[in-house]
Amino acid sequence: MDGKNELLEQIRATDFALIELNLFLDTHPSDENALKDFRMLAETREKLYRQFTQKYGPLKAVDGATSDCWLWINDPWPWDQMKWEELKGGMANVGLRQENRVPDKY
């Protein structure tokens, strides 16, 4: 339930509902049910987002800095088709050989 992918999937599901409600509310700004659902989901979203960010790093650049580290650039990026658990950088996508990689730490 609290694995990285599971948590991300929960955020995705919440975001999907929020986006649909957002579009609906743009043309029905005083629909009480939609407003209620939107606020409820926005709260859930914030909780999930905080949980994810604390545990697995930033989803947005503004959350990317710690006191001594710029976490934002860290792999994986969404198009790095790798399991979250085995972070090895995005080399698989471009077929660069292991020995030609730019090292993670200079």
**Encoded tokens for 10:** 């929960």
Could you tell me which of 17, 16, 9, 12 has the C-alpha nearest to residue 36? Answer: 17
CB of 101 to another protein, least distance (A): 7
Which stretch in 1-9, 25-33, 40-48, 68-76 sits in contact with another protein by CB under 8 A? Answer: 68-76
Nearer to another protein, 33 or 43 (CB): 43
105 touches another protein by CB under 8 A: no
Q: Is the peptide bond before 29 cis (omega within 30 degrees of 0)?
A: no
Nearer to another protein, 32 or 86 (CB): 86
Q: Check if the beta carbon of residue 20 is closer than 8 Å to that of residue 61.
A: no
62 touches another protein by CB under 8 A: no
Report the residue count for the chain: 106
Matching residue, tokens 């005083």: 30
Residues lying near another protein in the complex (CB under 8 A): 15, 61, 72-75, 77, 79, 89-91, 93-94, 96, 101-102, 104
